Amino acid sequence: MRKLLALLLTSFLIAPAFAADSNTEQDRVKDSGEVLKEILNIPDDIPQDLLDKAECLVILPSVKKGAFGIGGSYGRGVMICRSGEHYTGPWGAPALYALEGVSIGFQLGGQATDFVLLVMNPKGARSLLSSKVKLGADASAAAGPKGRTAEGATDIVMNAEILSYSRNKGLFAGVSLEGSTLRSDGSANQKLYGKSVSAKDIIRLGKVKAPACAAELISLLDKKSPKNRSDPKSLQ
């Protein structure tokens, strides 16, 4: 009898956790859209000309500094790209991604930080879609410049495959994430889309439709950056 009561009590306590977890992936997509909306409304924000030349974005809401080890971090968010063979179509369905690694200095006292990464060329997109990527090693990365335009940005920034930005307690800045890794979150994508799909299946092959929770994120990007203004030769 005691074992039965213990089992019932355990089931009662665990069930809400599973119910809450079933909404986690949808919440991640919605949170990513909200974070991007807020960041794009900052006066001294991501330069419009860089946003218009980005093939993809990675949005990571509330990346938290780990309790163990100096600077250890872990965060989850989405990667979303323009559709079409050469990234010239409307923004497509998002894939869920995870950030892991060590980055000393971008956080203080366990505060959560929002990140937005601009993927600036097809090579950078292919890297992120094919495997786990170490920023600065497998894909060149740099802190993104701020302001209305990217004028005055260094060659390092202009030639980077990925440009990264952060927001912490309202402060917005370009930030280096070298040494951190980005990977597709396969189990989360399976939960979100109801079947096993890779990031490439979602983003490049169009094997699934965008979920309802991504509507605001896609609408925002279609409004803020409807056309890819990269040099057409760079997209071949």
pLDDT of residue 107: 47
DSSP state of 24: H
Q: Where do we find the tokens 């070298």? A: 178
Please give the Cα distance from 79 to 49 (Å, whole number).
Answer: 20
Judge contact between 108 and 215, C-beta under 8 A.
Answer: no
Judge contact between 119 and 162, C-beta under 8 A.
Answer: yes
Nearest of 132, 228, 223 to residue 181 by alpha carbon: 132
Q: Where do we find the tokens 């930080």? A: 113
Torsion angles phi and psi, residue 29, rounded to 5: -65, -45
Q: Which two tokens stand for residue 116?
A: 């937005």
Q: Crossing angle of helices 24-40/215-224, nearest 10°? A: 20
236 residues of the chain, pLDDT tens digit each: 544 434 433 333 333 333 334 469 999 999 999 999 999 988 888 999 999 999 999 999 988 655 444 456 678 999 999 999 999 999 999 999 999 885 545 444 556 789 999 999 999 999 999 989 999 999 999 999 988 777 767 777 788 999 999 988 778 888 888 889 999 999 999 999 999 999 999 999 999 999 999 999 999 999 999 999 997 777 76
Please give the Cα distance from 166 to 200 (Å, whole number).
Answer: 26
pLDDT of residue 146: 87
- Confidence (pTM): 0.84
pLDDT of residue 158: 80
pLDDT of residue 231: 79
b/e code 164-181 from CB counts within 10 Å (16+ = b): bbbbbeeebebbbbbebb
pLDDT of residue 22: 41
C-beta atoms surrounding 34 within 10 Å: 16
Alpha helices by DSSP H, the chain: 2-22, 24-40, 48-53, 122-130, 155-158, 186-193, 199-203, 215-224
